[in-house]
Amino acid sequence: MPLVKNGALVDDIWVRPAEGEAFAPDAAVLLPADRIAEADGHQGPLGILWPNTKPVDELAPLLPRLSLIALHWPIFRDGRAYTQARLLRQRLGYKGEIRATGNILQDQLIFLARCGIDSFDLVKQADAEAASEVFKRFHVFYQAVDTARPTVFEQRKARLKA
């Protein structure tokens, strides 16, 4: 599947070993939550595929070890992973990469990014190719979130002070 990061198509360095398949000790490995114990002693970057049905607070003890958390959208209208991403960033202070996987539409990309998601594992090549344009569509926002973009109110206030 095509991977988008920083608005551009990139190669995915993460290996997703099949059930029972061994993986190199220094490889960047992305494992499902129920297999994370297999990574004890793993020396390379470690990622976890986290289902949207589990609370992210359960990840707290693993966060210092994780380089990637992949949140899953089983269907595009299921918004639980939006909340998971915000909780990871704001409540748990996670600074690593958060990836959206599953049934994601290009119309959702800007909203996912505003929730703290860094990369997007998209199903459709066309959505991946349109990603750079999607991120250019909106320049101002009304809602305040933890991003570098000021809200419309903050921009107006700054202009009045100038």
The domains found in the chain, sorted by start residue, are: 3-161 (3.20.20)
Res 50 pLDDT > 90: yes
Dihedral (CA of 112, 76, 81, 66) sign: negative
In tens, the pLDDT along 118-155 reads 999 988 787 777 777 776 777 666 666 655 667 777 88
Percent of the chain topping pLDDT 90: 38
Q: How confident is the model at residue 61 (pLDDT cuts 50, 70, 90)?
A: very high
Q: How confident is the model at residue 38 (pLDDT cuts 50, 70, 90)?
A: confident
Residue 25, beta-bridge partner list: none
Give Dmax (Cα) for the chain: 62
Q: Are 82 and 111 in contact (CB under 8 A)?
A: yes
